[in-house]
Amino acid sequence: MQLNWPPLQPPPLLVGATGPKTLALSGLTGAGTILTSETSPDQVRAAVEHIDGGPGHEIVVYVAMSSDSDAAPSNLQRWIDAGATTVVLEPAADRFDLAGLFTHAASSTQRS
Protein backbone atom coordinates (compact mmCIF):
# COMPACT_ATOMS: atom_id res chain seq x y z
CA MET A 1 0.00 0.00 0.00
CA GLN A 2 1.19 3.52 -0.74
CA LEU A 3 -0.31 6.88 0.18
CA ASN A 4 -1.16 9.15 -2.72
CA TRP A 5 -0.23 12.19 -0.63
CA PRO A 6 2.25 11.10 2.05
CA PRO A 7 2.91 13.62 4.83
CA LEU A 8 6.09 15.65 4.57
CA GLN A 9 7.02 14.56 8.09
CA PRO A 10 6.05 11.18 9.55
CA PRO A 11 3.45 11.55 12.33
CA PRO A 12 4.70 11.14 15.90
CA LEU A 13 4.54 7.63 17.30
CA LEU A 14 2.71 7.20 20.61
CA VAL A 15 3.18 3.79 22.21
CA GLY A 16 0.59 2.10 24.44
CA ALA A 17 2.43 0.49 27.34
CA THR A 18 1.83 -0.93 30.82
CA GLY A 19 4.77 -3.07 31.95
CA PRO A 20 8.21 -1.75 32.97
CA LYS A 21 10.05 -3.08 29.89
CA THR A 22 7.45 -1.77 27.44
CA LEU A 23 7.34 1.59 29.23
CA ALA A 24 11.14 1.87 28.93
CA LEU A 25 10.96 0.95 25.24
CA SER A 26 8.23 3.56 24.66
CA GLY A 27 10.52 6.21 26.10
CA LEU A 28 13.33 5.20 23.75
CA THR A 29 11.30 4.82 20.56
CA GLY A 30 8.16 6.93 20.81
CA ALA A 31 7.24 10.58 20.98
CA GLY A 32 4.81 9.66 23.73
CA THR A 33 3.32 6.93 25.86
CA ILE A 34 -0.37 6.07 26.24
CA LEU A 35 -1.54 4.71 29.61
CA THR A 36 -4.89 2.98 30.17
CA SER A 37 -7.89 4.09 32.22
CA GLU A 38 -6.81 1.58 34.86
CA THR A 39 -3.78 3.78 35.64
CA SER A 40 -3.95 5.65 38.94
CA PRO A 41 -1.99 8.86 39.60
CA ASP A 42 0.54 6.84 41.65
CA GLN A 43 0.93 4.42 38.74
CA VAL A 44 1.51 7.38 36.38
CA ARG A 45 4.39 8.50 38.63
CA ALA A 46 5.86 4.98 38.57
CA ALA A 47 5.42 4.74 34.78
CA VAL A 48 7.20 8.07 34.23
CA GLU A 49 10.22 6.68 36.12
CA HIS A 50 10.40 3.72 33.71
CA ILE A 51 9.76 5.79 30.57
CA ASP A 52 12.58 8.35 30.78
CA GLY A 53 11.60 9.72 27.37
CA GLY A 54 13.31 13.02 27.87
CA PRO A 55 11.91 16.51 27.34
CA GLY A 56 8.83 16.69 25.16
CA HIS A 57 7.83 13.05 25.65
CA GLU A 58 4.04 13.00 25.92
CA ILE A 59 2.31 11.03 28.66
CA VAL A 60 -1.32 10.40 27.70
CA VAL A 61 -3.59 8.82 30.29
CA TYR A 62 -7.20 7.78 29.91
CA VAL A 63 -9.31 8.47 33.01
CA ALA A 64 -12.56 6.57 33.57
CA MET A 65 -15.43 8.94 34.37
CA SER A 66 -18.64 7.70 35.95
CA SER A 67 -19.98 11.02 37.23
CA ASP A 68 -19.62 14.76 36.65
CA SER A 69 -17.65 15.08 39.87
CA ASP A 70 -15.01 12.71 38.45
CA ALA A 71 -14.37 15.35 35.76
CA ALA A 72 -13.81 18.13 38.28
CA PRO A 73 -10.52 19.94 37.65
CA SER A 74 -9.28 19.14 41.15
CA ASN A 75 -9.78 15.46 40.41
CA LEU A 76 -8.14 15.59 36.97
CA GLN A 77 -5.25 17.65 38.33
CA ARG A 78 -4.04 14.57 40.25
CA TRP A 79 -3.02 12.89 36.95
CA ILE A 80 -1.39 16.06 35.66
CA ASP A 81 0.57 16.47 38.90
CA ALA A 82 1.67 12.84 38.54
CA GLY A 83 3.22 13.55 35.12
CA ALA A 84 0.44 13.22 32.53
CA THR A 85 0.67 15.78 29.74
CA THR A 86 -2.75 14.85 28.30
CA VAL A 87 -5.79 13.51 30.16
CA VAL A 88 -8.47 11.82 28.04
CA LEU A 89 -11.90 11.52 29.65
CA GLU A 90 -13.35 8.05 29.16
CA PRO A 91 -17.03 7.92 30.17
CA ALA A 92 -18.61 4.77 31.57
CA ALA A 93 -20.24 2.52 28.96
CA ASP A 94 -23.70 3.14 30.43
CA ARG A 95 -23.25 6.92 30.49
CA PHE A 96 -25.67 8.55 28.04
CA ASP A 97 -25.32 12.24 28.97
CA LEU A 98 -21.87 12.80 27.51
CA ALA A 99 -22.51 16.46 26.77
CA GLY A 100 -23.05 17.19 30.46
CA LEU A 101 -19.88 15.37 31.48
CA PHE A 102 -17.63 17.08 28.94
CA THR A 103 -19.26 20.50 29.38
CA HIS A 104 -18.61 20.27 33.12
CA ALA A 105 -14.95 19.37 32.56
CA ALA A 106 -14.38 21.98 29.85
CA SER A 107 -16.14 24.85 31.62
CA SER A 108 -14.08 24.57 34.75
CA THR A 109 -10.68 23.66 33.31
CA GLN A 110 -8.16 26.30 32.33
CA ARG A 111 -5.23 25.57 30.05
CA SER A 112 -1.92 27.11 30.98
Amino acid 105: pLDDT: 63
* More confidently predicted of 99 and 3: 3
Distances in Å between the alpha carbon of 24 and those of 27, 33, 85?
Answer: 5, 10, 17
Q: Is the pLDDT of residue 109 over 70?
A: no
Q: What angle do CA 95, 41, 39 make, to 5 degrees?
A: 55
Q: Is the pLDDT of residue 100 over 90?
A: no
- pLDDT (tens digit, 9 = 90+) per residue, 59-94? 999 988 766 566 566 778 899 999 999 998 887 777
Q: Is the pLDDT of residue 110 over 60?
A: no
- pLDDT (tens digit, 9 = 90+) per residue, 26-61? 999 999 999 998 899 999 999 999 998 888 999 999
Amino acid 96: pLDDT: 64
